Amino acid sequence: MSGHSKWNNIKRKKEKTDAQRAKVFTKMGREIAVAVREGGPDPASNGKLRDVIAKAKASNVPNENIERIIKKSAADKAEYESIIYEGYGPGGVAFIVETLTDNRNRTASAMRYYFDKFGGNLGTQGCVAFMFSRKGVVAVESGGRTEDDVLEDCFEAGGEDMDIEDGVAEIVSDTAALRDIREYFENKGYTLLSAQTEYLPSNYSVLTDEEQLKQMGQLIEKLDEDDDVQNFWHNLENREDLPE
């Protein structure tokens, strides 16, 4: 499978404290608000909202929170803008950061600060994008099914590739097929863990310097905590070496 799984990062986020889970709710709230503004509050006729709701549920956002956010979105006057930042972390590790912000200057300033403080530098658009492929990634619990059975469903659904480990299967596809593949696996009775567009690295960097590994962990933590950051990807190979 091309690209490292992000599922370990998702699991890590799910195990965080209540305060940190509230951050996840805030981020999902912004995505829901944007989807409602673009296509209306009815998920039956708004495919983007349907996708975001599925993503929110996979992130353990309660149904009542989702319904409340949808209702509030009609009155929310904030205008959110999607901005992608690219740069290098410590040791030249490539980063792509996806943000959703109502204040472009605040977000740009924060991104520059994080990268400068933790041994990296923010780059220009396109400086690292060529190192990644934009793909749809669906993660589901295999539910006791054999790898062959899940692989058969992967290709039947239109997936390009699959990886399965510790009872979690990740299906990689063209981004345009993401919704169909998610719905296929949900309809087949799989438990959905995540479904989103991701940037999968085509090459990797390895860090061996302890200070750089520490800085890498600190940079990731800051990006995790920032409300404007919806998602981020990097090409560190030995991510298991990052300090807790």
Tally the domains of the chain: 1
Residue 185 located in a structural domain = no
Query: Residue 12 is part of a domain; what is its CATH number?
Result: 1.10.10.200
Which range has the top average pLDDT, 5-14, 17-26, 93-102? 93-102
Note the pLDDT tens digit of each residue in 111-143: 999 999 999 999 999 999 999 999 999 999 999
Residue 83 located in a structural domain = no
Residue 189 located in a structural domain = no
pLDDT number for residue 17: 58
Residue 97 located in a structural domain = no
- Domain residues for the domain of 46 are 7-73
Residue 32 located in a structural domain = yes
Which residue from 120, 122, 121 is spatially nearest to 211, judged by alpha carbons?
Answer: 120
Its pTM surpasses 0.75 = yes
Which residue from 78, 121, 83 is spatially nearest to 102, judged by alpha carbons?
Answer: 78
Residue 58 located in a structural domain = yes
The stretch 55-82 carries a mean pLDDT of 85
Residue 156 located in a structural domain = no
Phi and psi dihedrals of 188, rounded to 5? -85, 0
pLDDT higher for 84 or 59?
84
Q: By the 8 A CB rule, do 242 and 220 touch? A: yes
Residue 223 located in a structural domain = no
Identity of the residue numbered 157: A
Phi and psi dihedrals of 140, rounded to 5? -135, 155
